[in-house]
Amino acid sequence: MLGRSRLPFVFLAVAVTCAVAQHAPPWTEDCRKSTYPPSGPTYRGPVPWYTINLDLPPYKRWQQLITDKAPSLRIIVNSLKDVVNAFVPSGKIMQIVDQKLPGLLGNFPGPYEEEMKAISDITGIPLGVIEWILGKKDAMWIGFITRSVLENSTSYEEARNILIKTKILAPAYFILGGNKSGEGCVITRDRKKSLDIYELDLEQSRWYVVETNYDRWKNPFFLDDRRTAAKMCLNQTTQESISLPTMYDILSTKPVLNKLTVFTTLMDVAKGQFETYLRDCPDPCIGW
């Protein structure tokens, strides 16, 4: 299951237009075959694996991960502060966020307050700043809703219901797969409600659903038609032959793979497999 922002591609896509108008190199290619296991120029390496033990008290769970990532977290937070201070140069806003916000907002629900205190203590980033980045509390941050579904939902139906109904902080696509035949859907959300639920329909031979970064009823930006490319490759394979390797083939085919692709994650619910690979898309390749 993935929660994805429905916004970010727009800005980059507009910028791409100017850059590619005069050229027409091979931005697309025939559906790739036998790209798995990952290797070659589109593979930048593995992602480190951390085991988060939820049986530990919340304050202890993230110790190793946050200790390793503290320097990068501090860099991210400092650049966010720079952006804010560039708009309001007095530094007053960050001062309020640093000092007053924790009290103003009250506690985050469930395990989050304690977990964030630990993150704050390990990194030295003030708790108020962490809370400010994660957002206000009357609606769920996307990370919180996915976390609570992954941690506590015990069936496809329950997960689907929560993702459809819970109020959230920002629009999102939820891509959900179950472990039984026919269990799979893409939920298009705005903050308050679901705009669309697109289901597998095996009787109609719809054995896959594709979500790139567009509402299903809207056409993709013409230089970013990953949707048609992915469907074309899926149509060239069969339901019986779909597997992590054949999914990796599709996700390695330009322009499904493009310069904005940071990583590729493959999951198999029934087998409990979860693999993530850092990606690259050497020239000629669309997206940046």
Ligand X SMILES: *[C@@H]1O[C@H](CO)[C@@H](O)[C@H](O)[C@H]1NC(C)=O
Nearer to ligand X, 77 or 234 (CB): 234
Nearer to ligand X, 18 or 270 (CB): 270
Taking CB under 6 A as the binding criterion, the range among 62-70, 191-199, 225-233, 272-280 that sits at the site for ligand X is: 225-233
Query: Which one of residues 42, 120, 148, 212 is an interface residue with ligand X (CB under 6 A)?
Result: 148
Taking CB under 6 A as the binding criterion, the range among 89-97, 161-169, 210-218, 231-239 that sits at the site for ligand X is: 231-239
Question: Which x/- pattern, by CB under 6 A, does the window 78-117 give for ligand X?
Answer: --------------------------------xx------
Length of the chain in terms of residues written:
288
SS (H, E, C) 11-77: HHHHHHHHHHCCCCCCCCCCCCCCCCCCCCCCEEEECCCCCCCCCCCHHHCCHHHHHHHHHHHHHHH
Taking CB under 6 A as the binding criterion, the range among 35-43, 145-153, 216-224, 254-262 that sits at the site for ligand X is: 145-153
- Whole-number minimum distance, CB 118 to ligand X, in Å? 15
Contact between 238 and ligand X per CB under 6 A: no
In sequence order, what DSSP letters do the residues of 87-122 get, joined into one string?
Answer: HSTTSHHHHHHHHTHHHHH-PPSTTHHHHHHHHHHH
Using only C-alpha atoms, what is the Rg of the chain?
A: 21
**What gap in Å lies between CA 197 and CA 159, rounded to an integer?**
13
Contact between 228 and ligand X per CB under 6 A: yes
Contact between 152 and ligand X per CB under 6 A: yes
Do 126 and 120 contact (CB within 8 A), yes or no?
yes
Taking CB under 6 A as the binding criterion, the range among 22-30, 63-71, 230-238, 259-267 that sits at the site for ligand X is: 230-238
**What gap in Å lies between CA 134 and CA 82, rounded to an integer?**
18
Nearer to ligand X, 107 or 152 (CB): 152
| H or E element at residue 161 | helix 156-165
- Whole-number minimum distance, CB 232 to ligand X, in Å? 4
The one-letter amino acid code at 159 reads A
Q: Which residues make up the interface to ligand X (CB under 6 A)? A: 110-111, 147-148, 151-152, 154-155, 179, 228, 231-232, 235, 270
